[in-house]
Amino acid sequence: MIVGLGNPGKKYKDTKHNVGFMTVNKIAYSNSAKLIEGNGEYYYAEGKLLQNDFLLMIPTTFMNNSGIAVKELYDKYDFNLNDMMVVCDDINLPTGKIRLRSKGSDGGHNGLSSIIYQMQTNDFPRIRIGIGREFNKGQQADYVLSKFDSEDLDLIESAIDAASNICGHFIMGGIKEARDFYSKEYRMQKSNLPNNKEIN
């Protein structure tokens, strides 16, 4: 399962806080999977990638309550949390930089914090997409809810493409294949985001 974090509604479409939504929408479009309203606080899509079934989900709660939607879907499908990849933004990474981890703390991200609280564990994979932190003290909320500057769009689009590819390999072979693909394609070879991705 791939979970993209963000805020619902046209007001927040394509804002920095919504790169998780953008990634899930990219995966859905690439695999002809349509996100539909679920029986809970989320939209979801079922699909197949090279004979591998997958599930996509975006919460319809606001970011701070993302865990409610994850818990609802967990109760419905009873999946292993190691089979859930969460995609979110990260102000602590430069714009366009990607970090893949198999588990960890919320790192100050309210969406991850909500999931950890609801599921009572931080043991699930996540991809963080850097959005930078070019804001003054007290202006973080306005910054993450703003749209990307034109000079950052290419970086973000490339990062979303990369995150989508990593998620594809996660669907096909779990975190090991996702990490192997990331290491091979984004650490050992030149890419359109040179020296701009990191795996831990």
Read off the pLDDT of residues 13-27 as tens digits, 9 standing for 90 and up.
999 999 999 999 999
Phi, psi angles (nearest 5°) of residue 91: -75, -15
**Extended strands (E) in 50-177:** 52-59, 85-90, 98-101, 126-130
The hierarchical CATH code for the domain 2-199 is: 3.40.50.1470
H-only helix segments in 4-149: 19-30, 66-77, 110-119, 140-144
- Among all residues, which ones are annotated catalytic? 17
Contact between residue 100 and residue 127 where contact means Cβ atoms under 8 Å apart? yes
In the sheet where 42-49 sits, what is the strand order? 36-37, 42-49, 52-59, 2-4, 85-90, 126-130, 98-101, 197-199
Percentage of the chain modeled with pLDDT above 70: 92
Average pLDDT over residues 185-196: 50
Running DSSP on this structure, what letter comes out for residue 108?
T
Cα 107 → chain centroid: 14
Whether pLDDT at 182 is above 90: no
Q: What is the mean pLDDT of residues 163-189?
A: 87
For the segment 132-168, what is each residue's pLDDT rounded down to a tens digit?
988 889 899 999 999 999 989 999 999 999 999 999 9
pLDDT attached to residue 186: 67
Q: In the predicted model, is pLDDT for residue 196 greater than 60?
A: no
Average of per-residue pLDDT values in the chain: 91
- State pLDDT tens for residues 89-145: 999 999 999 999 999 999 999 999 999 999 999 999 999 999 998 888 989 999 999
Is the model's pLDDT at 188 over the cut of 90?
no
Residue ranges of domains in the chain = 2-199
Beta partners for 127?
87, 100
